[in-house]
Amino acid sequence: MMARQGQETAIGNSAWPSWMLLLAAVLFWGFTQARADERAVLAAEVQQRIDAFDEIDQLFRALRFKVVNQRSQDHQGALVYADQLVQLAYQLPGLFEAETPRQVIPFSRARPEIWSRKARYDFLMDEFLDNLEEIQALLRQARLTDAGHRIDRTAQSCRRCHDPFRYRR
Ligand code: HEC
């Protein structure tokens, strides 16, 4: 009994009083919590852009099939796809603002070159948005053949950006 009391006093007088240990624990918890929050915000942003790209993929296929393969003359119907494509694509630039390394967000396929070669990436993104706006404008004017050509050219811009800026898997 006496011996145990002695031990307790020794701990109480150590260089790390218990309040300091508690403070350190709280600070450490706060730090880890902040890191976890930051990661959750980034993950949500990455998920948003993947969802946007998935929708763009489906709409773009539908638009291409209608205008290029089927040679549909229904420009109003095609315009519904084009309008949605433009709205979705406008969200993209804002969803690439923060760097999202794979060590932090493993499910992202974004390569670090997006941020280290930002001018090139932004150029390709702008070109993509311009193409979608042009398709929209051509469809408004019921110029379906011209819209078809522009759709084919835009399909190449998907690959031109994915090759350098998206991991294969
Ligand atoms: C300016 C660059 C750029 C353009 C243009 C672009 N993409 Fe992407 N795309 C990306 C990047 C980067 C990702 C990876 C995002 C991530 O995982 O964080 C991606 C992801 C995707 C995904 C999500 C699926 C997955 O698992 O990665 C699909 C689908 C997709 N793109 C389709 C398209 C299609 C279709 C087009 C053209 C109509 C297109 N993209 C144009 C850069 C681009």
| Domains of the chain: residue spans and CATH | 45-165 (1.20.120.10)
- pTM comes to 0.87
Ligand 1 atom 38, closest CA: 158
Residue 2 is predicted with a pLDDT of 47
Kindly give the distance from the C-alpha atom of residue 162 to the centroid of ligand 1, in angstroms, as a whole number.
Answer: 6
- Pocket lined around ligand 1, Cβ cut-off 6 Å: 46, 49-50, 53-54, 56-57, 60, 108-110, 124-125, 128, 154, 157-158, 161-162, 165-166
Q: What is the DSSP letter of 108?
A: -
pLDDT value, residue 6? 46
Mean pLDDT, 10 residues at a time, the chain of 169 residues: 49 76 94 90 96 98 98 98 98 96 96 98 98 98 98 96 96
Q: Which residue has a Cα nearest atom 3 of ligand 1?
A: 161
Q: What is the pLDDT of residue 16?
A: 83
Residue 82 and residue 135 in contact, taking contact as beta carbons nearer than 8 Å: yes
pLDDT at 156: 95
167: three-class secondary structure by DSSP:
coil
Q: Are 121 and 165 in contact (CB under 8 A)?
A: yes
Burial of 147 (0-12, 13-18, 19+ CB in 10 A): buried
The alpha carbon torsion through 108, 109, 112, 113 (nearest 10 deg) reads: -150
